[in-house]
Amino acid sequence: MIKLKVNRKEYTVDINPETPLLWVLRENLGLTGTKFGCGMALCGACTVHLDGEAVRSCVTPVARAEGKEITTIEGLSLDSGHPLQQAWIAEDVPQCGYCMSGQIMSAAVLLRENPRPADADIDAAMAGNICRCGAYQRIRRAIHLAARIQGQGGGR
């Protein structure tokens, strides 16, 4: 039995402790906002926060998440009010949208650590997240906008 705390809720799951966190979130807890893209920590689609740090859940054994605060896209904000989500909507960033949970979760850590990121900071922090639809230019724009929203205390 493994005890998990996801988006401030407690869960107990009966699962092989080596199972990647990604599949436990998606299949056992029904939190399908976190996506599968590569399974090898190459694309970032599966990014979640473990105690506030961005991790690739596809290569994180669920046992390693025990006792930690896990946050997924579903728990990032109430009603899509995070500055990044507001900015993503304002800039119409998503195309197919499949990579976007991971993009936003990676960007959330960036914005917390660096409230005024320059393009180079964005490139460095976001290079692990692939967008096959190529929405990169809008991702950059939206992160800058989110930084402004955050700076004005506009998050929800």
Partner 1 sequence: MSGIFNLSRRKFCQAGMLAGGGLILGFYLPGLDRAAAAAPPIEGTFAPNAFLKIGTDDLVTVIVNHSEMGQGVYTALPMLVAEELDADWSKVRFEAAPVDPVYNHALWGMQATGGSTSTWTEYERLRQAGATARAMLIAAAAAAWKVAPSSLRAEQGQVVHTASGRRLTYGQLAEKAAGLAPPKNVKLKDPKNFKLIGKPAKRLDTPEKVNGQGVYGLDVKVSGLLTALIARPPVFGGKVKSFDAEKAKAVPGVRQVVQIDRGIAVVAEGFWAAKRGREALGIVWDEGPQAGLDSRKQREQFAELAAQPGAVAKQKGDADAALAGAAKKIEAIYELPYLAHAPMEPLNCVADVRGGSCEIWVGTQFQTGDRDTAVEITGLKPGQVKLHTMLLGGGFGRRAVPDSHFVREAVQVSKAVKAPVKVVWTREDDIRGGYYRPVVYHAIAAGLDGAGHPVTWRHRIVCQSFTVDTPFEGAMMEHGVDASAVEGARGLPYEIPNLLVDWKRAPGAVPCLWWRSVGHSHNAFVVESFFDEVARAAGKDPYEFRRALLKNHPRHKRALELAAQKAGWGKPLPPGMGRGLAVHESFKSFVAQVAEVSVSKEGKIRVHRVVCAIDCGPVVNPDTIAAQMESGIVFGLSAALYGEITFANGRVQQRNFHDYPVLRINEMPVVEVHIVSSKDAMGGVGETGVPPIAPAVANAIFAATGRRIRRLPIRGEDLKKV
118 binds, among ligand FES, partner 1, none (CB under 5 to 8 A by kind): none
Site membership for partner 1, residue 89 (CB under 8 A): yes
Q: Which of residues 96-135 bind ligand FES (CB under 6 A)?
A: 96-100, 131-133, 135
Write out the E strands in the chain: 2-6, 9-13, 47-50, 53-56, 69-71
Complex with ligand FES: residue 51 or 92, whichever CB lies closer: 92
Site membership for partner 1, residue 55 (CB under 8 A): no
Number of residues written out for the chain = 156
CB neighbours of 123 closer than 8 A, spacing ≥ 6?
Answer: none
Give yes or no for a contact between 17 and 2, defined as CB atoms under 8 angstroms apart: yes
| Minimum distance of ligand FES from residue 153's CB (angstroms) | 29
Binding residues for ligand FES (CB under 6 A): 36-39, 41-46, 56, 58, 94-100, 131-133, 135
